[in-house]
Amino acid sequence: MYISVNSQNRTYQMEQFVARKGYHATSLKDLKGAKIMSAPGPANVTMAKAALAAVGLKEGDYSIDQLDMGQHVNAMTAGTFDAGYTLEPNASTMRKLGVATTIEAGVIAHYVLVNPDANAFVGGCALTSEFIKSRPDVARRFAAAWEKAVRLINENPAEARKHLVKNTFTPEDVVDTVPMIRYFMAKDLSDKDKADYQKFIDFSVETGTLEQKVDVTKYLQAF
């Protein structure tokens, strides 16, 4: 049961296409013929291919290979790939080092939800139904603590960024500029937010990432 979900789009950046230094691509269409790396996992590869398909590039117009996230910066530095579908903080690190530039961020919102400013809910914080049922007081207190963190991040991202250095793989020299995603408690989701969430999940079913249709409202837990 998701007590909170994370939004990413062109403003609250996470997933994005980058191009290595010296490879002239200013739009996704320019990736025809490119050798592309992708964040690993079927969901990431599917989203990368979906964005490329949306601009008219079909499989065969490019090559794409999964690569461990820890290798993305080195791969761009070495010029092993022409471009990549990567996540933060890798993209910020690449830009800081001058080894790659961002072509477009927030591609899930743009090409799957068909609105660059839509909330693409791709992750979140969840508790099991059994835990909520067997330890309701602990679940409520955890949710309250999580909400406190969510409010801090959304309202004071500069302060929140300080915690990225020792708790994530974010390098200290990019921590002040790395984009922050937008967090929503389940109770704060609007009808449109839920519709966007459902659209994303429906797309995941259509593309085979999920085996069967899922009603997202059945997996949201408001406290």
CATH of the domain at 96: 3.40.190.10
What does the pLDDT look like over 95-108, one tens digit per residue? Answer: 999 999 999 999 99
Tell me what the pLDDT averaged over the chain comes to: 96
Grouping H, G, I as helix, E, B as strand and the rest as coil, residue 45 is helix
Per-residue pLDDT, averaged over 191-218, amounts to 95
Burial 111-126 (b: 16+ CB within 10 A, else e): bbbebbebbbbbebbb
Q: Quick check: 169 pLDDT over 90?
A: no
- Compute φ and ψ for 168, nearest 5 degrees: -135, -175
Q: Quick check: 73 pLDDT over 90?
A: yes
Domain containing 149 equals 2-8+118-219
129 and 100 fall within a common domain: no
Q: Quick check: 5 pLDDT over 90?
A: yes
* Share of residues in the chain with pLDDT > 90 (%): 97
Q: Quick check: 212 pLDDT over 90?
A: yes
Cα separation, 1 vs 221, whole angstroms: 6
85 and 130 fall within a common domain: no
Under 8 Å between Cβ of 180 and 153? yes
Per-residue pLDDT, averaged over 156-162, amounts to 94
Residue 202 covered by a domain: yes
Reported as a pLDDT band with limits 50, 70 and 90, residue 6 is very high
**pLDDT of the residue at 80:** 97
Q: Quick check: 22 pLDDT over 90?
A: yes
Record the pTM: 0.92
Q: Which of 76, 105, 134 is the last residue of a domain?
A: 105
What does the pLDDT look like over 105-123, one tens digit per residue? Answer: 999 999 999 999 999 999 9
**pLDDT of the residue at 158:** 93
Residue 36 covered by a domain: yes
Cα distances (angstroms) measured from residue 173 to each of 134, 141, 149, 184: 44, 35, 23, 28
55 and 126 fall within a common domain: no
